[in-house]
């Protein structure tokens, strides 16, 4: 598979402060990666750095083999990097359908495919952005990013603050875009088990450094590391619920 994104010895942050320290990993076309860690570990900063919104102090970022450092933010989107920020940032004064089509680019992801991924959006297509629930806004933010037809989708905490039933719908949509459409993605998420279930590989950040990398299915079964680095204690077989 062709390499999409590669970080090598990356140190980055804001102003004079360094948040990411010596981070390295690669992601190939068709791969999915979960970025895990406690609050403040640098997970969102990792995505913001890929999108050109932090100060890179040293190291390298490659996109399809080409140097990405110094490339303007809008050019990164045009090159195929799609981003769904924590804040969602949908257009309140536009309808659902207008939000989806305002910056759409030609490709496999079109209105029909996005509506198939998130049927709620089809039902709400004439509603303004500020009339949607938080979960519907999240679906819209993901759908809008897909309408740009990115080669790689960066998702920052897409399940944050959502009701359990909506979490299931969003996870089902993400699972479908990966399984049926082969969408490459990097997923930052505090819901550890959901993130691991949706991805092939994972990395764990601690104080801006990658302290562990593994297959997601292996990590899901590693109770010791889940508890040590993420504060997630799995119930052992035979232990009372």
Q: For residue 238, is it within any domain? A: no
What CATH number did the domain enclosing 34 receive?
3.40.50.300
pLDDT in tens, 6-62: 999 999 999 989 999 999 999 999 999 999 999 999 999 999 999 999 999 999 999
Kindly report the backbone phi and psi dihedral angles of residue 5, in degrees, each rounded to the nearest multiple of 5, phi listed first: -125, 135
184 contacts: CB under 8 Å, gap ≥ 6: 4, 27, 28, 29, 30, 31, 32, 151, 152, 153
Q: For residue 210, is it within any domain? A: yes
Rg (CA), the chain: 18
Q: For residue 169, is it within any domain? A: yes
Q: For residue 118, is it within any domain? A: yes
| Residue-range definition of the domain harbouring residue 158 | 3-230
- Residue 118's pLDDT is 95
Q: For residue 164, is it within any domain? A: yes
pLDDT in tens, 94-148: 999 999 999 899 999 999 999 999 999 999 999 999 999 999 999 999 999 999 9
The per-residue DSSP string of 158-177 comes to: TTTT--HHHHHHHHHHHHHH
Query: How many helices (H) and strands (E) are present in the chain, helices listed first?
Result: 10, 10
**Is residue 233 very low, low, confident or very high in pLDDT (cuts 50, 70, 90)?**
low
- Residue that has been written with the tokens 């305002």 in this structure: 102
Q: For residue 237, is it within any domain? A: no
Q: For residue 182, is it within any domain? A: yes
pLDDT in tens, 154-183: 999 999 989 999 999 999 999 999 998 899
Number of domain units in the chain: 1
Q: For residue 240, is it within any domain? A: no
- Residue 239's pLDDT is 40
The percentage of the chain sitting over the pLDDT mark of 90, rounded to a whole number, equals 85
* pLDDT > 60? residue 241: no
């Amino acid at each position: 598979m062709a390499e999409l994104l590669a970080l090598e010895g990356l140190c980055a942050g804001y102003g004079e402060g360094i948040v990411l320290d010596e981070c390295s990993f690669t992601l190939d076309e068709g791969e999915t990666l979960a970025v895990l860690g406690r609050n403040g570990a640098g997970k969102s900063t990792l995505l913001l750095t890929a999108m050109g919104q932090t100060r890179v102090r040293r190291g390298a970022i490659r996109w399809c083999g080409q140097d990405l450092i110094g490339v303007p933010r809008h050019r990164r989107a045009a090159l195929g990097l799609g981003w769904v920020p924590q804040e969602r940032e949908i257009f309140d004064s536009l309808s659902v359908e207008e939000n989806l089509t305002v910056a759409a680019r030609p490709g496999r992801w079109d209105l029909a495919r996005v509506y198939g991924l998130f049927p709620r959006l089809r039902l709400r297509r004439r509603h303004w952005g500020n009339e949607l629930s938080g979960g519907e806004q999240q679906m819209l933010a993901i759908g809008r990013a897909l309408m740009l037809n990115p080669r790689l989708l960066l998702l920052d905490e897409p399940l944050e603050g959502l009701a359990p039933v909506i979490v299931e719908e969003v996870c089902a949509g993400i699972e479908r875009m990966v399984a049926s459409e082969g969408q490459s993605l990097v997923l930052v998420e505090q819901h550890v088990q959901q993130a691991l279930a949706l991805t092939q590989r994972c990395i764990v950040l601690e104080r801006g450094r990658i302290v562990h990398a593994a297959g997601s299915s292996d990590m899901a079964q590693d109770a010791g590391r889940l508890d040590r680095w993420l504060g997630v204690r799995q119930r052992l077989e035979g232990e009372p619920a």
